Structure 1
Amino acid sequence: MQLKHKIVALGILPLLLAVAIICALVLLQNQRLGEQQVQLIESAILSSKQAELKNYVAMALSVIAPLHDGGRGDAAAQKQALDVLGKISFGEDGYLFVYDDRGRNLMHPRQAELVGRDLWHMTDIHGLPVIQALLKSAMSGDGFQRYSWRKPSSGQETDKLAYVTMLDGWGWMVGTGIYLEDIERATRQVRSEVASGIRATMIAIAGVTLIVVLVVFIGSLMLSIKEHRLADRKLQALNQRLLSLQEDERSRVSRELHDGISQLLVSIKFQFELAAHQLQRGASGGLDSLEQAIERLGGAIGEVRRISHDLRPSLLDTLGLSAAIGQLATEFEQRCGLTVVCRQQLGDAPLPDAVAVALFRIVQEALTNIERHARASLVQIDLAPSVDGVQLQVRDDGIGFDPRTIERMPGGIGLRNIRERIEHLGGQLSLSSSSEGSAMHVVLPVSAS
């Protein structure tokens, strides 16, 4: 994946996961609250209907109380009471019914075909013996019973809640009931409203999520473009610096060849020509001129070796890092007149070529910086193994510098090169400096093999 795609994925995927979890929690919470609300509404409606049924039955009993309480138990009083109860109705499907204690129907204003029939063994669609259950509820004093019964207005079997009570003396069970379609309709409406609320909440969350995703995508895209441009600028600056370093190195080598080797070779050429001319004439001094030319030729060879050593020391390839750094320290001590203490604990342990070259160049660059800027009299070089690889420490007793600003200075290329070499190999660099001297500590990782 490209960087911009990774940024977008890291920004959007956790957001989508969080939104999905929130949506699931909101959905579950709304469903739970919706069911609680349905149960509360159903319970409230049922309680209201139960109180209403009790009032209807109490009203009916109060109407026939003069006939019942007057002590008249004859058939005429009972027939008059049944006529009065049969005329009482409330609503489209509200009526009273009367049964005796043996399950025989005495009055049913909406289903006349049931009057006089023994319904003791009649069951509803669920297998419940309706009349037995009603009598049991009436005799127990609870009075409420749910069952299925044919609704007069629709002719369909519907759940019904009845309230019944026993009329003492006559052995009657008087009751009424309501069909529960109203409660079911109310609960369906509540569930529909809850579902609508959940849908509205999900749509709102989806809209907010879409907006946030677009914002994250646009922000990530802008950040990616900005970082891409910054990386391009850094790459251009790095390429320019590499080209400048290459040109500087070429200029240095060219200058050394022109001012050193070239002048020596020209001088040697003139010396050989002078010796040849003197020998041809038989003049004295020809042999001396030839010896001087040979001596200068040896100096030229030494200069070529020095330039070659600066480009890549031969000891690094033949004897290893310890010998190459030791030679570098010796040459630096002879050239600058400083005291160099070089302590090495690597022994003959082989190092990867990249690590060995990096450590050599770091020491070379550090000594160059000390020569130019430190004004030191003592330099200490410590090379030793570490837990993760190899460590190098270079100390001097010079005037010190400010590590925070030295790399930002136009001439701070040397230290920047050191840092880049170390970062390329995955190592660590630490600098410390004061008026009493400076120290550079380098750790480069080396595999156990």
Structure 2
Amino acid sequence: MRLRQKIILFAVAPLVLALSAISLTVYHQATSLVQQERAVIKPAYLATKESELKNYVALATQAISHLYESGKTDAATKDAARAILAKLEYSEDGYFFLFDLKGTMLMHPRLKESVGKNMWNLADPNGKMIIQDLIHIARAGGGFYDYVWPKPSANSNDPKPKRSYAIELPAWGWMLGTGVYLDDIDDALAEVDQKASNNITNTMLWILAIMLLSLLMVILVGLALNIWDQRDTLEKERMRFAGELHDGVCQKLGAIKLHIEALIKKLAGPPQDMSITLDILEETTGRLYEVNDEVRGIARGLYPEILTDLGLESALRQLTHDYLTTPIDFFSTGDVNGLSDPANLALYRMAQESFENTRKYAVANRIMLRLEGDERYVTLAIIDDGIGFDVSKCTSDSSRGMGLRNMRRRLEDEGVDGKLTLRSSPQGTTVMARVPRKPRNTFLINLFPCKRK
């Protein structure tokens, strides 16, 4: 596995999994906290409202206590008490109401037109007998009662949930009550839910931003490694190219220069035997042919034209013909066309390097080159009957096996995604490469494709 792929597998995947797990945990915990908060807030809010209702009723009874405790039961005294209660308001929806114990409305600041009417059979949309139930609760010592009733501040006849508190004024046969609308509590809880939802959303967005930033950093690191690897490969190719020019072409051109200078001296001097001159010209011509062949070889080494013109099979067949040191049997089966240029070049380079290694080290009598293609893969195997080598020692020693490492690097590169297999024993060596027809779309190659120019 190449370095960039390791970065993707061991950095990006755990990072995404960890941040996803953190996101789910944060979301679960935040949602749980909101539910717990609702479970605490609603009862506390209701308890507060109930305490306020009791206090409001206590203040109302205190406001008319001088009349109620006077012992008078005449109409004038009662009218004065009703007038005082009618003026007591603590909000637009906070008012008091009075009924006698038979259900007749005695005072209601929001329903003045119904004062004097008997409301004993008044029911809310849910079927609750409001006045009967309130009177029963009041006569039982006072208490709370839930029902639905139109809310004055809403300017609508749509009933809203309401909780009222009622007590009995037994000396006058009255039921005194007041109430609060519970939709205010629902609105407060909805506001709490909205704030919590916004906080959860913001937290998730921050986690997502951190995830994207982290992924971007990993991508940039991978891109930097990719660029560095390409530059390193290019630098090695330049050094190899320069070395071949210096050690081969330049040396031969230098020798040709000396021969030409010698020929010029011969021609500038007194007439001599032409056979000497012809020998120099023939030797110079031979050196020029050698330089020409070497330059062609270097050009083919950069990217063999035969790969582009005739394809991988023909290029390998020509390579076996050009290799004269050891007999080579070449076999090709199946469809081996359709690979990318980097894949064709990687397989061609592998064959070149394997032949050269066999020539230098294997002491082989015969080589077999087998090229096979199926629907998914193209496989190239080079098998010799040489003396073999220690694969583990050669691949682990950084001072040896440069050619093998270059093979593996080319085959595992983006755009190839191949696999190299080595097997060696005293009876011979097998070098095998398998390349998929459609290389996997790796993470970095999709984002930053690098094509051979």
Question: Scaled by the length of structure 2, what TM-score is found?
Answer: 0.51
Q: Which residue pairs with 1:144 in the alignment? A: 144
Q: How far apart are the structure 1 equivalents of 2:399 and 2:174? A: 113
Matches within 5 A, 1:167-182: 167-182=169-184
Quote the residue 2:410 is aligned against.
none
1:241-390 maps to which residues of 2 (within 5 A)? 245=357, 248=360, 311-312=364-365, 361-362=387-388
Structure 1 residues 193, 2: closer, same or farther in 2, change over 3 A?
same
Deviations 1:106-129 (A, max 9, x none): 211221122122222212233322
Secondary structure of 2:98's aligned partner: strand
Quick check: 1:105 aligned with 2:105? yes
How far the C-alpha of 1:176 sits from its partner, in A, is 1.0
Q: Percentage identity across aligned positions?
A: 35
Q: Which amino acid aligns with 2:205?
A: I
Matched, 1:27 2:53: no
SS at match of 1:213: helix
The answer on whether the counterparts of 2:364 and 2:387 sit within 8 Å (CA) in structure 1 is no
Unaligned runs of 5+ in 2: 241-348, 367-380, 406-419, 431-453
1:49-198 equivalences under 5 Å are 49-141=49-141, 143-156=143-156, 157-198=159-200
- In the aligned structure 2, how far is the partner of 1:204 from the partner of 1:13? 19
Tell whether the 8 Å contact from 2:99 to 2:105 is kept in structure 1 after alignment. yes
- Is the deviation greater in 38-47 or in 122-131? 38-47
CA pair 110-242 structure 1, distance change in 2 beyond 3 A: closer
Letter in 1 for 2:52: E
Amino acid at match of 1:114: S
1:37 and 2:63 matched: no
Structure 1's 408 and 113: CA in aligned 2 closer, same or farther, altered over 3 A?
closer
Whole-angstrom distance in 2 between the partners of 1:85 and 1:27: 51
- TM-superposed deviation, 1:426: 5.8
Give the 5 Å matches for 1:167-246: 167-226=169-228, 245=357
Secondary structure (helix, strand or coil) at the match of 2:168 reads strand
In structure 2, relative to structure 1, the CA distance for the partners of 1:149 and 1:99 (3 Å cut) is: same
Cα distance per residue 1:34-92 (max 9 Å; x no partner) = 23334433333322222221111111112222333333334443333223222222222
Give the conservation status (yes or no) of the 8 Å contact 1:3–1:224.
Answer: no
Instruction: For 1:124 and 1:4, locate their aligned partners in 2 and report how far apart those are by CA, in whole Å.
Output: 72
CA distance in 2, matches of 1:408, 1:194: 59
Change (3 A) 1:88 1:249: closer
- Contact 1:67-1:77 within 8 A present in 2 as well: yes
- Secondary structure of 2:152's counterpart equals coil
Q: Return the alpha-carbon distance in structure 2 between the equivalents of residues 136 and 210 of structure 1.
A: 65
What do you get for the CA RMSD once the two structures are aligned?
4.7
Write out per-residue CA displacement over residues 128-148 of structure 1, whole angstroms, 9 at most, x where no aligned residue: 221123223334446112222
Q: Which residue of the partner structure matches residue 451 of structure 2? A: none
Larger radius of gyration: 1
**Preserved contact between residue 364 and residue 384 of structure 2 (Cα < 8 Å):** no
Q: Flag the 1:202–1:424 CA change in 2: closer, same or farther, 3 A.
A: closer
Contact 1:164 1:175 in 2 (8 A): yes
Q: CA 1:122 to 1:2, structure 2 compared with 1: closer, same or farther past 3 Å? A: farther
Contact 1:8 1:221 in 2 (8 A): no
Q: Deviations over 1:198-243 (max 9, x none)?
A: 2221221121111101011122333445566778899999979757
In structure 2, the CA distance between the partners of 1:72 and 1:249, relative to structure 1 (3 Å rule), is closer
- Cα deviation 1:360-418 (Å, max 9, x = unaligned): 725xx79xxxxxxxxxxxxxxxxxxxxxxxxxxxxxxxxxxxx99x96778x99xx9xx
Helix, strand or coil: the match of 2:387?
Answer: helix
The unaligned stretches of length 5 or more in structure 1 are: 251-309, 314-353, 367-402, 417-422, 430-439, 445-449
**AA aligned opposite 2:161:** D
Aligned-partner Cα distance in 1 for 2:160–2:118:
22
Residues 40 and 408 of structure 1, relative CA distance in 2, 3 Å threshold: closer
**1:139/1:357 Cα in 2 relative to 1: closer, same or farther (>3 Å)?**
farther
